[in-house]
Amino acid sequence: MATIGVQTGVPSNLPDALQEAIDDASANFLVVPLVHPRYERSPHVPRAEPVTRSDTLLNSGEWTTQIVGEVSPWLQLDSADVGARRRSEVAFKQELAWASHLSLPALLLPPPGSGCVNYAHCVNQTTLANPAMQMWVRVPLHAPAAPEPPPSAAEPPPAAAAAAPTAWSCWNQLRRLCEQSVVIGVALELGLELPEDANELRRWCGEPLRAVIIPTSAFMTNKKGYPALSRKHQAALALLMRHHPRIIVRGRPDASAEGLAAHLLYLRHVLGKLPPMSQTERFESPYYDYLQAPLQPLQDDLESQTYETFEKDPVKYKQYQLAVRRALEDKHKATATDASPVMVMVVGAGRGPLVAASLAASVEAGVPIRVYAVEKNANAVICLQNRVLSEPDWAERVTVVNSDMREWEAPAPADILVSELLGSWGDNELSPECLDGAQRFLRPGGISIPCDYTSFVAPLSSHKLWNEVKTFKDLAHFETAYVVKVHNAFQLADAQPLFRFVHPNAEAPPDNGRYGSLTFTAKLGGECHGFVGYFHSTLYEEVCISTEPSTVSEGMFSWFPLYVPLRHPVPVADGATIEAHFWRHASHHKVWYEWALTQPTPSPIHNPNGRSYFIGL
C-alpha cells in the first residue's frame, strides 16, 4: 500500500489539521512548515515572541511518524545580497535545529537553483551534524521549453548561448557538492504538463526518489465532478511507483466537505489498479540493487541452495532442451544409417538439470543417446549418483563422472557437448577456459551447446548502486564487478557488444584475452556511475538465451546483470559521447578485467593486473 501525505499550507491549528489529514483524508502523514513562511529572521535583532509553535501540540510519536517538516521557501541562501544571505543562513540553521529537536523523519527542502553552492554548503553541514535525518529536495519537473525558430538566412547567426539549466542539472549540482550523500533525496513534483520525451522521466528512476509531489492543479475534473489525472500522468505515476516513493498531494482543500480526501481516494484507486508483480518480479524483488559477488564455480563448489535456485528457472532449461532436440534431429538426419546412440557429454552437470533436459530432448526427437555427466563438485555428484539409482532413464543411459572437465580422459568422443558455464557477463565464470579444455573429446564436426556467447555493456546512472559500493570505503570494492538486479537506475545509452567467444574454438593455442573500445551517445544526460553488463548466447542455430534488454529471454532469472563501478561518478551532458575501454586478461592462474573511461572525462584504469578482483582458474 502506498504511503500518501498531504500538504495544505500553514494550518491554523496543527492538531486539528493532523487529525483531519489522518482520519478524514486517510493520509499517512502531514507536511507542515517548520516556521510560518512570512516569518523572516534577522541575525542581529532577536524577537521576543517564540519562533514557531510549541512542540507540546503533538506527542513525540506523532512528530516522529506523522509530520514531515518543510523549510521556509523564502530562504535565499545564494543571494548576492549579503544581508539576505546571512538572514537565510541563520534561519536555515534555526529551522534545522528545531526539526532535529522534534526528531522529524524527513525535511522538505526548497528547489535548488543553478547557483546552489551556498545552499549545498548549508545542507552538507546539516547532514554531517544530523546523519539520521532525511532531506527531500523539492524538484519541479517541467516540460522543456519549445526551441526558438532558427534565424533566417539573411540574419547573422546569434552567438552561442549557454544551455539553460534544467531541474535535473540543478539537482545534480547540489547532489555532487554534497558528495552524493545518501540522506539527500528527490521529491519530484509533477506539474500540469509533463515532458514529451519519456527518457526525461526515466532518468529520475536512477535517482534517490523519496517522494512524488502532485499539486492539486495537476488534477482534472471528471464528468462526475471528482478530481482525476490524465492518462499521461497515470503512466508517469505507475513508472515512478516502481521505486516506492511516498506521494504528497500539495494544495489547499476546496470548499467541499471532502477537502483533499477525494484526491487521496482517487490516487489509492489508481494505484490499486496497477498490475501485480509477476512471478519473476516476485522472485527478483528481494535482490533489487543488492550487490552480490559473482560466483566462481570453477574455484569454489556451489551449495545445494544455489543449485536449487537456478533449477527453478522456467525458461533456461526449456531452451536447452529445445537446442539439444534440434541438434539430435540434425545428427539423426546426417547419420540415418547409424543406429548407435548419440554420445552427449554434459560438462559441469551440477545436480543434473541439463542431463534431464537432454534425456527429455532425446524422447522428443526419437533419437537414442548416451550421456556422460561430468561434475567436479563431489557433493553434487552424490545427487547425480542417487538419480542414477532412482530414475530408470538415468540408470540405463547416464554415466556419472566425478572429475574436472579439463583433466578427464573421455572413453569415447562426444557428438554433442552441453554446458551452462555462462556468467552474468557471459565469460566471467570462465566458460572459455573450461570449454577449451573440454573440447578435446568432442568429435570433429561435433556440436557445442552453447556454440557462442557475447558480452554486452552500457553506461549506467545509479546513485543507489554507487553509494552501496561507497559504503565499503576502500579502493578494492570500486575495482570489483557485482552481480545485481539493477532497479534504481537509468541506462544512459543502449547496450553494445563487447567480447565474443565461439565453441568449438579452432584457435591453437586458444587465446581468451580480449580488448574492446566502445563509443556511446547519451540519449539524455546524467551522472555515469559505471557500467551494466549483459550477455547473449546462441545455444544452437536460432535457439538463444539472453539478458541483453533488446533480445532478453522473458521470465529467465538465472542471471542478473553485472554492475561494473567507476571510482568517481562522471557528469554526462545531453547527447554527449561516452568512450569506454575494457580488457580481459588471462594467466595460468587467474582471469581478470580492467576498465577505463576516456570521454567525457578520463578515469583511472580500474583493477590493473587484477589487484582487487579476479576469477581463479
Determine the 3-state secondary structure of 405 from DSSP.
Answer: coil
Contact between 525 and 572 (Cβ < 8 Å): yes
| Cα separations in angstroms, 387 against 37, 63, 204, 371, 383 | 74, 61, 50, 13, 6
Q: Report DSSP letters for 341-372, one per residue.
A: PEEEEEES-TTSHHHHHHHHHHHHHT--EEEE
What count of residues does the chain have?
Answer: 617
Give the DSSP H/E element, type plus range, for residue 139: strand 134-141
Q: Which residues pair with 402 in a beta bridge?
A: 375
Q: Which residues contact 393 (CB under 8 A, 6 or more apart)?
A: 359
Q: How far is it, in rounded angstroms, from Cα 372 to Cα 598?
A: 48
Contact between 514 and 507 (Cβ < 8 Å): no
Q: Which of 62, 89, 189, 420 is catalytic?
A: 420
Q: How far is it, in rounded angstroms, from Cα 378 to Cα 352?
A: 13
Cell numbers at 127, concatenated? 547532514
Amino acid residing at 304: S
Task: Choose among 54, 65, 66, 60: nearest CA to 17.
Answer: 66
Cell numbers at 64, concatenated? 516522529
| Cα separations in angstroms, 377 against 298, 330, 400, 402 | 9, 32, 12, 7
Opening angle at CA 123, ends 120 and 128, nearest 5: 125
Neighbours of 280 (CB within 10 A): 15
Task: Choose among 551, 408, 555, 431: nearest CA to 500.
Answer: 431
Q: Report DSSP letters for 29-87, one per residue.
A: EEEEESS-TT----SSS--SS-SS--GGGS-HHHHHHHEEEE--TT--TT-SSHHHHHH
> Is 429 labeled as catalytic in the residue annotation?
yes
Q: How far is it, in rounded angstroms, from Cα 105 to Cα 490?
A: 28
Opening angle at CA 489, ends 484 and 494, nearest 5: 95
CA max distance for the chain: 106
Q: Report DSSP letters for 175-233, one per residue.
A: HHHTTT-TTEEEEEEE-SS--SSHHHHHGGGGS-EEEEEEEGGG-EE-TTS-EE--HHH
Q: Which of 89, 429, 468, 594 is catalytic?
A: 429
**Residues annotated catalytic, as ranges:** 420, 429
